[in-house]
Each structure stands twice: as structure tokens, then as C-alpha cells.
């Protein structure tokens, strides 16, 4: 029986090469029954490391990644943070960047790990009625952001997380989304709290459908049934020593399958050891801040 096909999109810069590799390996390992077309849209002027990763994937799994360079210079005025780089804005132009014979696909942030099957997302009828521009899971702070948008004059009842997006590329092209998303970015430049995520939510308000949360699980504790895709959203990532997230072991599991498995990615000193176990202790006893707890005794 012929495998179902699914286009996969990643965007990255030099800061996320290793996390991307972990995510991509986890995707392949758990979805060998799907014909994956993995397109890596990157801003690395020296792509030697990506070519080496491509060779590793070919030798291990028998297929190649599609590497595509795209300059992020045009995003220079858009805000960034310690965990959101200019490369994140590349997804805004994804319908203009990918070849014209690609009509849909799954976008994955580099800080994701795929732990199960995503076969149902390869269903060719997913966007058959062309109703939605994308499918996404509701953000954990969805209601708060809906209220914030109302103050900006943006009406929506659904604020989604953009770490995992099932994208209707064909509809994006009809909407001329690439150009209009950039216009939206600069229009709301000083009002963007969550950067490119805000931009996508503003432009696609009322044009997005709901993606099952199992495909974009953001959680501080383990859930009963392991999700298909874990998203390590926020500043603390599983490759940071001080991170104590519940699914850190899943990241480490697939990291060991990458060509970087013997690479030391972080210097660990006494301060980091202290912070790691202090945070772990606070989570065990249910305390957010020792100072807040101390001050409460004297109110």
C-alpha cells in the first residue's frame, strides 16, 4: 500500500540547529509509515552542518531533507527575545517560499519532540473544503490574549499557539497572506506581546480551525496519555541544565539518536546546579517564591 504523504516545514537559524535535529529525528522515528517531505528553511550562510545532518539522515533513514536558504534581513525591525529569533518570522512568508506544487503541510517549531503517530494529519481531505487557513491548538493563555486583542480592536474568540500549525498553503496564497502578514507585523509593531504568534492570530482571526491538543502539548506536568507532539514552549528548554520539565527525558532520548549525541552543549557551574535543585525543591513543595512565602507570615 502506498504511503500517505505529508509536507513538514521547519524554520531555523544557527541557534537552533541541534534542537531542530532532535525534533526531526523524533518525527522520523515515530512516523515511518508516512512519506515525509521535510523542508528546512534556514538562514545559515554557511550550511555545512546542515549538509552533514542531511547526509546522516540519508545514511540512517534512506531519504534526504530539502534545504532552502532564506535571508531574515527584512525582519530586522521586528522584536525578538532570548527564545524567539528573527527566524521565527520566516513562517509568515511560508506560502511564498515553498514551491508552487506544495498546497499544505505541517509546521513544527524546533523546540518540539514528536513521540507518536501524526498519520491523521496526512489525510488529503483535511483541507478539502478549503474553509480554514490553518489548524492550531488553543494557547494556554488563550482567554487572556483574546481580551488583550479586544483592546487592540481585534475581534476573535480563539487565540492559538503557533508552535505547531497545520497550514493550508493554497488558501494562504489566495489570501496573499505573506505580504499581508508583514503589513500586519509593522502595523502592530509596538503592540506585539508574543511576536510572530500575535501577528498570525491577528491576521487569521476567524480563519483558523482547532487542532487536537495532543499535537501541541504544552504542560508543566505529565499527563495520563503521552501526547503525539510535545512542545517545550517558553524560555526554559529541555537542553538547558536547569530545566526540570516533565518531558525532558523525551528530548534526551532522541538527542542520543542524533550526530550531536557526544557534543557538550552547555557549561555547568555551581550556580546552575543550585538553581536547578532550588527550582525542583520549590515545585515539590508547591511554592512559587520563598520570599513571597516568608512575607506572608508577617501580613
The H or E element containing residue 51 is helix 48-61
Give the span between the Cα atoms of 68 and 54, in whole angstroms. 12
Q: Are 119 and 31 in contact (CB under 8 A)?
A: yes
Q: What is the pLDDT of residue 293?
A: 43
Q: What is the pLDDT of residue 273?
A: 42
Question: Alpha-carbon Rg of the chain, whole angstroms?
Answer: 20
Residues 112-144 as b or e (16 or more Cβ within 10 Å = b): bbbbbebeebbeeebbeeeebbbbbbbbbebee
Q: What is the pLDDT of residue 285?
A: 52
Residues forming a β-bridge with 9: 39, 107
pLDDT tens for each residue of the chain, 299 residues long: 678 999 999 999 999 999 999 999 999 999 999 999 999 999 999 999 999 999 999 999 999 999 999 999 989 888 887 667 889 899 999 999 999 999 999 999 999 999 999 999 999 889 988 789 999 999 998 999 999 999 999 999 999 999 999 999 999 999 999 999 999 999 998 888 999 999 999 999 999 999 999 999 999 889 999 999 999 998 889 999 887 889 999 999 999 999 999 987 765 444 444 344 444 444 555 555 544 543 444 34
Domains and CATH numbers, the chain: 4-231 (3.90.550.10), 269-299 (no CATH)
Give the span between the Cα atoms of 109 and 102, in whole angstroms. 19
Q: What is the pLDDT of residue 76?
A: 81
Give the span between the Cα atoms of 162 and 84, in whole angstroms. 12
Q: Where are the beta strands (DSSP E) in 202-250?
A: 208-210, 229-231
Q: What is the pLDDT of residue 190?
A: 87
Q: What is the pLDDT of residue 288?
A: 57
Give 288-292's long-range contacts (Cβ < 8 A, gap of 24+). Answer: none
For the chain, report the end-to-end CA distance as a whole number of angstroms.
70
Give the span between the Cα atoms of 147 and 125, in whole angstroms. 34
Q: What is the pLDDT of residue 1?
A: 63
List Cβ neighbours of 197 (8 Å cut-off, separation of 6 or more). 139, 161, 162
Q: 3-state DSSP call for residue 49?
A: helix
Amino acid at each position: 500500500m502506498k504511503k500517505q504523504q505529508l509536507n513538514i516545514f521547519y524554520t531555523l537559524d544557527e541557534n537552533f540547529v541541534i534542537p531542530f535535529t532532535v525534533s526531526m529525528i523524533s518525527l522520523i522515528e515515530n512516523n515511518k509509515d508516512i512519506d515525509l517531505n521535510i523542508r528546512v528553511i534556514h538562514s545559515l550562510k554557511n550550511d555545512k552542518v546542515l549538509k552533514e545532518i542531511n547526509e546522516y539522515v540519508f545514511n540512517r533513514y534512506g531519504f534526504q531533507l530539502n534545504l532552502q536558504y532564506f535571508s531574515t534581513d527584512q525582519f530586522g525591525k521586528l522584536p525578538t527575545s532570548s527564545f524567539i529569533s528573527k527566524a521565527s518570522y520566516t513562517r509568515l512568508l511560508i506560502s511564498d517560499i515553498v514551491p508552487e506544487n506544495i498546497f499544505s503541510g505541517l509546521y513544527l517549531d524546533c523546540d518540539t519532540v514528536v513521540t507518536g503517530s501524526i498519520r491523521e494529519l496526512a489525510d488529503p481531505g483535511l483541507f478539502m473544503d478549503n474553509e480554514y487557513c490553518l489548524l492550531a491548538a488553543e494557547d494556554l493563555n488563550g482567554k487572556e490574549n483574546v481580551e488583550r486583542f479586544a483592546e487592540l480592536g481585534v475581534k476573535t474568540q480563539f487565540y492559538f499557539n503557533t508552535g505547531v500549525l497545520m497550514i493550508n498553503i493554497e488558501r494562504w496564497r489566495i489570501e496573499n497572506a505573506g505580504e499581508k502578514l508583514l503589513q500586519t507585523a509593522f502595523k502592530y509593531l509596538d503592540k506585539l506581546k508574543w511576536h510572530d504568534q500575535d501577528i498570525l492570530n491577528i491576521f487569521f482571526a476567524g480563519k483558523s480551525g482547532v487542532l487536537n491538543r495532543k499535537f501541541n502539548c504544552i504542560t508543566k506536568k505529565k499527563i495520563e496519555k503521552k501526547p503525539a507532539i510535545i512542545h517545550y514552549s517558553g524560555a526554559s528548554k529541555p537542553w538547558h541544565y536547569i530545566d526540570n520539565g516533565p518531558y525532558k527525558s523525551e528530548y534526551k532520548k532522541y538527542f542520543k539518536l542524533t550526530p550531536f549525541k557526544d557534543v557538550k552543549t552547555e557549561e555547568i557551574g555551581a550556580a546552575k546546579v543550585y538553581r536547578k535543585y532550588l527550582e525542583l525543591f520549590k515545585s515539590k513543595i508547591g511554592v512559587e517564591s520563598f520570599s513571597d512565602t516568608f512575607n506572608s507570615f508577617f501580613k
